[in-house]
Structure 1
Amino acid sequence: MPTALITGITGQDGLYLAELLLGKGYEVHGLIRGQNNPRTELVEKLVPDVTLHTGDLLDISSLMRALRKSQPDEVYNLGAISFVAYSWENAAVTSDVTGKGVLSMLEAVRLHAGDDLSSVRFYQASSSEMFGKVQQVPQTEETLLWPRSPYGVAKVFGHYMTINYRESYGMHASSGILFNHESPRRGPEFVTRKISQAVARISLGMQKDLSLGNLDARRDWGFAGDYVEAMWLMLQQDEADDYVIGTGETHSIREFLDLAFRHIGIDDWSSYVKQDPRFMRPAEVDLLISDPAKAKEKLGWEPKVSFQQLVTMMVESDIEAARAGW
């Protein structure tokens, strides 16, 4: 039975990945930060067979302790401060956790593995936000990185540090450059979930409108449940490498709104949506679209859930939650 350790297990990716690995017969361990973590209960409810350990990406001794207790064959480093808007308000903390936290985890794995570095395979959650002011359309593994937020900069640090450990120490360390991926488990602070929750509440007469920032920003949106399979596939390869993971399609916030409101029978949503300058980014990322050809060729990976199916799934889930009073 293979064993995996997942940092960031309380997030949508961590939950879907834990379910995937448990279904494949893995023994799964998760790292939880802090006492009385409010999302611990969610992990215990959705994936009760996961063994949880307390640790912090900024405390290498706690990471070493978690590695010693779990003895993983695979480590998935998903832990980060991942809300882009927050990163401008707390750039230093974001840099420490999202950037230096990767270094801490890599070093902990290196020290834990000792002379047998091939015994532990490492996955780093890189991000399409690293492309920022895009220099090539669509974006591939070779596209120049030009991040436009403290979050993106921190992700670039972690991405290159992963490459450096792979090249310096021969670690089986891979990075997945994941484009935007959403689900009903997405945090309510993210724009897609903010829309799906608001649309659900509007359909039930519980909310009148919602406020958003740039409606013309375009993203390559996929389903998080599909993307965690790509993470697993990367660590099953003989050679570690970096892969762009996305749908190869781009859609605007307006298109997301179109589908979400249309699902509840509203064709013209203009009276329900207000633009608020408070939600505008200081430096916008206007267009992200992936070229996942390498992942398709080498991993045999392709997304299964379409953009329309994703939006419908999220709105339906939030309608059910609102009716249940969650």
Structure 2
Amino acid sequence: MTTPAPIKRALITGITGQDGSYLAELLLSKGYEVHGLIRRSSSFNTARIDHIYQPAQADDHRLFLHFADLSDGSRLVTLLNEIQPHEVYNLAAQSHVRVSFDEPEYTGDVTGLGTIRLLEAIRAAHIDCRFYQASSSEMFGATPPPQNEETPFYPRSPYGVAKVYSYWITRNYREAYGLFAVNGILFNHESPRRGGTFVTRKITRAVARIKAGLQSELYLGNLDAVRDWGYAPEYVEGMWRMLQHDEPTDYVLATNTAYTVRDFLQFSFEHAGLDWEKYVRFDDRYLRPTEVDALVGDFGRAQSLLGWEPKVLTPRLAQIMVDADVAALDVEGRHYVDQVQS
């Protein structure tokens, strides 16, 4: 009689974010026991994972949430000892680039120093695990595209600078302590779960509201910024593959395609039968003090070593997000009517 393979345990910081929620879904589908860190606050911000979170008494309960924060190293040591994860995915961050100019110290503490606290907690607790660090294309900043794993960094924001620190400290712990630690250098990746303050979701939500007659204008900043946009569910698959590979190394995940914010506007509005130029207005409040002109990634290493490649490119991505926001607005409207009539 064969002994069943032990259940793998994964710890995800930032589990309530876009990537964290998709990653939790993926790992649960693969039979993992998933643990997520959430910050203690007056509101329970779990909307993106409510559909997969079951009461603790359920027989198939494999998703557990723990209160913790990357600013509290001792709490991280305690939790790691309790959970004993096989894989740790560090997705938590202050992740809005424009906000990082307004809150540079907080961004540095959470996005940068939070990584060293987690790595040091793994080392101090003697946890035998594989570690994934969410690095970012914003580390390249002003370096001309295309950008790959060998491209020099030139960050242009406090967020990008903090991510560079996290990248190098992850490599240092891999080289100094033999930790299986990888950096996933992910280019922009979006979905219907993207936060409403990010430009792609801001656009697609506005499209839905304009089409429904609830909004008349959309204010944006730099429309000429060039980005490499992919689909978040595909990118979390890449994260998981990085930790299944025999040797730890760093990977770029991207689509190797270049579109401007103006292009994304056109794809989104046209999908709804609208002319974006009738509704979009410029507002310099949305400009960064230092702009990043172009980020376009080369995913060749991930393709050759992990067998990973993107399938959803920017034009289709814009359609997916518009359709989701139109549908969400329709559900919201029907819910409101039901409340009024009840």
User: TM bucket by the smaller chain?
Assistant: over 0.9
1:86 aligns with 2:86: no
1:120 maps onto 2:126 in alignment = no
The aligned counterpart of 2:72 is: 59
Select which of 268, 283, 289 maps to 1:282: 289
> In structure 2, how many angstroms separate the alpha carbons of the residues matched to 1:256 and 1:25?
37
Corresponding residue to 2:308 among 284, 301, 306 = 301
Q: Given that residues 54 and 62 in structure 1 are in contact (C-alpha distance below 8 angstroms), is that contact kept between their aligned partners in structure 2? A: no
* Structure 1 runs (4+) greater than 2 angstroms displaced: 35-38, 40-49
Aligned match for 1:73, one of 65, 86, 96 = 86
Q: Is the 8 A contact 1:22 1:28 kept in 2?
A: yes
Aligned to 1:191: 199
Q: How does 1:42-191 map to 2 (within 5 A)?
A: 42-48=48-54, 49-113=62-126, 119-134=128-143, 136-191=144-199
Identity within the alignment, %? 55
**2:217 paired with 1:215:** no
- 1:65 is displaced (CA, Å) by 2.0
- Deviation of 1:40 after TM superposition, in Å, equals 2.6
Return the letter of the residue paired with 2:19. D
Q: How many residues align?
A: 320
> 1:62 & 1:9 partners in 2: Cα distance?
17
CA RMSD in angstroms comes to 1.2
Q: Deviations over 1:175-216 (max 9, x none)?
A: 000000000000000000000000011111111010000000
Change (3 A) 1:121 1:44: same
The CA deviation string for residues 120-147 of structure 1, in whole angstroms up to 9 with x for no partner, is 000000000000001x421010100000
Superposition pairs of residues 233-244 of structure 1, within 5 angstroms: 233-244=241-252
Q: Does residue 11 of structure 2 align to residue 5 of structure 1?
A: yes
Task: Give unmatched runs, 5+ long, in structure 2.
Answer: 1-6, 55-61, 334-342
Per-residue CA deviations over 1:216-270 (Å, capped at 9, x if unaligned) read 001000000000011000101111110010001011001101110001112x321
33-42 or 139-148, which moves further after superposition?
Answer: 33-42
Q: Of the two, which has the highest radius of gyration?
A: 2
Note the C-alpha offset of 1:165: 0.3
Inter-partner Cα distance in structure 2 for 1:165 and 1:69: 22
The 5 Å alignment of 1:27-38 reads 27-38=33-44
Q: What is the DSSP-based 3-state SS (H/G/I as helix, E as strand, rest coil) of the residue aligned with 1:6? A: strand
Q: Tell me the distance in 2 between the aligned counterparts of 1:227 and 1:175.
A: 13
Task: Assess if the C-alpha contact under 8 Å between 1:19 and 1:47 holds in 2.
Answer: no
TM-score (norm 1): 0.96
* Superimposed CA distance per residue, residues 290-320 of structure 1 (whole angstroms, 9 cap, x where no aligned partner): 0100000001100121212211110011111
The answer as to whether partners of 1:31 and 1:66 remain within 8 angstroms in 2 is: no
Shift in Å, 1:37: 4.2
1:95/1:150 contact within 8 Å kept: yes
Contact 2:16–2:47 at 8 Å: present in 1 too?
Answer: no
**C-alpha separation between the residues in 2 aligned to 1:105 and 1:143?**
26
TM-score (norm 2): 0.91
Distance in 2, matches of 1:253 and 1:44, equals 31
Deviation at 1:45, TM superposition (A): 2.9
Aligned residue in 2 for 1:227: 235
Whole-Å Cα distance in 1 between the matches of residues 307 and 271 of structure 2?
33
Match of 1:25 among 18, 31, 40: 31
Which of 247, 251, 258 aligns to 2:255? It is: 247
